[in-house]
Amino acid sequence: MWTRLAAMALGLVAAALLGACGTKDDTSGMATAKLYEEAREEASSGNWERASKLFEKLEARAAGTPMAQQAALELAYAQHRAGEKAAALATIERFIKLNPSSPGLDYAYYLQGLINFNENLGLLGSLARQDMSERDQQASRDSYQSFRQLVTQFPASKYAADATLRMNYIVNSLAQYEVHVARYYYTRGAYVAAANRAKNTLQEFSQAPATEEALYIMTLSYDKLGLPQLRDDAQRVLLQNFPESRYVKEGFAARATSKPWWQVW
């Protein structure tokens, strides 16, 4: 009886050992330079999941070296391209925390901004007439903060110019979002809320194109509230800044025929 049980136990151990051998890491004996080369090849081929796994192994194997820092940055990018936003952000945040003096810190902030920047909308989604202002605004604010950190801390970085353009885009997007909300309140008769939300657009995003509609909404809302002085003030500012405003002539119908706020041609 005991002999039989012992034989069964030995069989299970042997099976486990064979299974372990079958799943052995095929990169275990690979030099770090070769592992990096293979990871880059996978990334170049668009095999982002495989590239992520290889960069992750490389980062661990080369811990404490510049190679590990490079692997972490490329890991975050690969995770981003694989659609793993949370993992990519976690990798970048870890990199920034552990490598505050890294020569790649400017790129880390830039990549962090890109991950939160919804690049499939706006200019790249013009045919569908979609824009970031209709999407989650927290991601836009997070993206702005990353780009701002980059531009402030590394003004001479090669990524600074593009980050600045994206910051302007995000500001306009956030302003348009405020106007979306203000318009929503106005059409539902919540005139105080509409006026306050439109006023917030002017205070936070005074240079954004959306201020034209914000002033128009303020004019209408104050009129509905029976506040003629505030109405007249809002209309005066509207006409001073937008003397040819189509909102004054066409109302909200002007939105249907105007070009998107992000279009510059």
Straight-line distance from the first to the last Cα atom of the chain, in angstroms, rounded to the nearest whole number = 87
pLDDT greater than 60 at residue 24: no
H-state helical runs in the chain: 2-22, 32-44, 48-61, 66-81, 85-98, 105-116, 137-153, 160-187, 191-204, 211-224, 228-241, 246-250, 254-257
Give residue 226's pLDDT.
Answer: 97
Structure tokens at 39: 């990871």
pTM of the model: 0.75
Residue 236: alpha-carbon gap to chain centroid? 37
Q: Domains of the chain (ranges plus CATH)? A: 32-163 (1.25.40.10), 175-257 (1.25.40.10)
Range with the lowest mean pLDDT among 24-38, 68-82, 157-171, 186-200? 24-38
Range with the lowest mean pLDDT among 11-25, 34-48, 82-96? 11-25
pLDDT greater than 90 at residue 82: yes
